[in-house]
Amino acid sequence: MGALHEGHLSLVDAAKGGCDAVAVSIFVNPTQFAPAEDLAAYPRRPEADLAACEARGADLVFIPSVEAMYGDGALTHVTVAELSGGLCGRSRPTHFAGVCTVVAKLFNIVQPDKAYFGRKDFQQAVIIRRMARDLDFPIEIVTCPIVRESDGLALSSRNAYLTPPQRAQAPALSASLAAAERLIRAEAPPAEAVRAQVRRHLAAHAPDGRIDYVEVVDPEALTAVARARPPVLVALAVRFGSTRLIDNVLVDAEAPAG
């Protein structure tokens, strides 16, 4: 959605390494915002984004208008219901229908062979992969590692909204997930013990944050698990004021997650 940072640009780098040509879409998609969310305030920096894409070697940048994408009276929506109701979908019930609809449209317009998505939006990547499979899009969905600040905070365009005190507390999200991973690898504990540990860490180190959710789920079905055995996903969302941040760690069966 623009306001590109190193997380986004790492996807360009990955695509450059795996494709003959790279197209970047930049579109602040109104259908994935609820009425009370930050559509009007969402950062838009098209000139800087174009310069960043050019510097990283993108071959094409597609920046459509809302009118070009949706026209008058669009009635069709794409949903992946079974995967969209939990995690972020619980507090943002219309979000993933907007995401799937616009991504399906972008797939049809651009017709890529591969599409690259970041692991920070883990639920989104799982949903899009399932959508592509179910609708027979001949596209390989590639997920890429989370890119973080030096203190562990996952890069996000919304980090710019944080006040200095909030920014100082925000690295507690990734630190709580790192502690959860250590616990899982050491003990394969009940999922509730992992959730409780993450919540305690956030309460101690991010007192200004309001927890939206902390969940321990199967990384494919996105359903809750009783015991946290790899492979397992620990995901969370925390609000600092009106700013909602998400993060996750995939604890796989072989090695610590990157």
Residues 6+ apart with CB under 8 A from 7: 118, 120, 146, 147, 154, 155, 156
Q: Which residue has the tokens 């229908």?
A: 97
Judge if 170 and 133 occupy the same domain. Answer: no
Judge if 49 and 79 occupy the same domain. Answer: yes
Judge if 110 and 224 occupy the same domain. Answer: no
Asked, for residue 34, whether it belongs to a domain, the answer is yes
Predicted pLDDT of residue 181: 98
Number of domains in the chain: 2
Rounded Cα distance, 141 and 139, in Å: 6
Per-residue CA distances from 182 to 177, 190, 220, 251 (Å): 9, 14, 21, 9
CATH of residue 188's domain is 3.30.1300.10
Which stretches of 158-231 are assigned E, i.e. beta strand? 209-217
CATH of residue 113's domain is 3.40.50.620
* Single-letter amino acid, residue 91: S
Angle among Cα 10, 11, 13 to the nearest 5 degrees reads 65
Q: Which two tokens stand for residue 257?
A: 């997650």
Judge if 184 and 135 occupy the same domain. Answer: no
Judge if 127 and 188 occupy the same domain. Answer: no
Q: Which residue has the tokens 């970047």?
A: 24
Judge if 130 and 175 occupy the same domain. Answer: no
Predicted pLDDT of residue 258: 42
Nearest to 42 by CA among 254, 243, 258, 256: 243
- Domain boundary at 144, 179, 213, which? 144
Asked, for residue 42, whether it belongs to a domain, the answer is yes
Predicted pLDDT of residue 257: 44
Using an 8 Å Cβ cutoff, are 23 and 116 in contact? no
Asked, for residue 152, whether it belongs to a domain, the answer is no
Predicted pLDDT of residue 73: 82
DSSP letter for 145, please.
Answer: P
Rounded Cα distance, 230 and 222, in Å: 14
Q: Which residues of the chain have pLDDT under 50?
A: 257-258
- Active centre residues (catalytic): 8
Task: Tell how strand 60-62 and strand 23-25 pair up.
Answer: parallel
Domain that holds residue 184: 161-251
